[in-house]
Amino acid sequence: MNAPEVSVIVPVYNEEAGLPTLFERLYSALDAFGASYEILFVNDGSRDRSAAMLREQFARRPDVTRVILLAANAGQHMAIMAGFEHSRGEIVVTIDADLQNPPEEIGRLVEKMREGYDLVGSIRRNRQDSAFRRYASRAMNRLRERITRIHMTDQGCMLRAYRRSIINAINSCHEVSTFIPALAYTFALRPTEIEVAHEERFAGESKYSLYSLIRLNFDLMTGFSLVPLQWFSMVGISVSFLSALFVIFLAARRVLVGPEAEGMFTLFGIVFFLLGLVLFGVGLIGEYVGRIYLQVRHRPRYLIDAVLEDAAAAAARDSGPVPVPVPATELTAAAPETRE
């Protein structure tokens, strides 16, 4: 069985209400585009009927449908990694299951990839999110770009296309927690971006809480740069220098003016500020140490319960070159992520 030109990876987590519409629009869009394709649905430990609905869809279209069932929630990016490691297409497209990114836009990404690019990112046009989320996303984009030097206009949009060489490079990495778009940009020689439509979420609510977004950005910044540590070192040097000047000032004042009771609360304020700075530094170092701890345990990243695919696809996958084999039992080593 020949490998398809396009592999579409769809991570699914508790999307029961929107799956019928997703099936209708996704298959129609890919059939109309005309390229050979496969769709890999990755059920990320859903607690609703999503897994059962994916099984039913596989029974309807086994020729182009493959379903990976994870035994537990491993997070959006680990679910996509599972899809990467089982995909066969020369062009791999990721898209969320909530229909905020229209499946009809996949053809535009593939056409752009055919121009010779190895990575095509997307920028959400007229983003249908709250004002707080839009402004917070822009602020985090700017901060992340300054820290990591990775240029992504819209880091939160998972509608992206990758060439097989980039997928192979990502599969060769064994990071427990990572941010796939940023990792892909570190390998890409010819990346580009296009604007895509953005719609309101079809059903349900965003799986990303404020805490999850903050944690994801911590992973992004600490996983791709040492700049936060370097910035904190510079702050520490500056505070130490100012503290030395302050001590000299207090010593001179005591000699010239004599001992004073005033200024006690100012001194307390300075001490509390320095204590807060120290605690922030300990937390920052803890982020890096925690990443090292998760990595050196060498635990597999997720547990695959079952893979649904037709015999021809299974034979092609088993006989073809597999860049990074996936163990039959892969267990998540990090706290489960949620998704936007």
pLDDT (tens digit per residue) in 63-112: 999 999 999 988 888 999 999 999 999 999 999 998 888 999 999 999 99
Compute the CA torsion angle 58, 59, 63, 68 (nearest 10 deg): 30
At residue 161, the pLDDT reads 96
Query: Which DSSP symbol is given to 215?
Result: H
Q: Is the pLDDT reported for residue 326 higher than 70?
A: no
Alpha-helix residue ranges (DSSP H) falling in the chain: 19-33, 50-60, 76-86, 106-113, 131-148, 164-171, 180-187, 210-224, 227-257, 264-296, 311-319
Q: How many Cα atoms within 13 Å fall on the side-chain side of residue 264?
A: 4
Mean pLDDT value of segment 268-276: 74
What tokens does 79 get? 């679910």
pLDDT beyond 70 at 11: yes
- Residue that wins the pLDDT comparison between 80 and 151: 80
Cα distance between residue 319 and residue 322, in whole Å: 8
Q: Band of the pLDDT at 325, cuts 50, 70, 90?
A: very low
Phi, psi of 44 (to 5 degrees): -95, 60
Whether 266 contacts 197, CB under 8 Å: no
CA–CA separation, 125 vs 157, rounded Å? Answer: 11
Going by the DSSP 8-state scheme, the letter that residue 103 receives in this structure is G
Higher pLDDT, 29 or 235: 29
The confidence band for 313, taking pLDDT boundaries of 50, 70 and 90, is low
CA angle 218, 186, 45 (to 5 degrees): 55
Q: Indicate the residue type of 147.
A: I
pLDDT value at residue 192: 93
Q: What percent of the chain has pLDDT over 70?
A: 73
For residue 113, give every residue at least 6 positions away whose Cβ sits within 8 Å of its Cβ, in sequence order, or none: 91, 120, 161, 163
Sheet holding 119-125, edge to edge: 191-197, 119-125, 160-163, 91-94, 6-12, 37-44, 65-70, 304-308
Q: Parallel, antiparallel, or unpaired: how do β-strands 119-125 and 37-44 relate?
A: unpaired
Average pLDDT, rounded, for the chain: 80
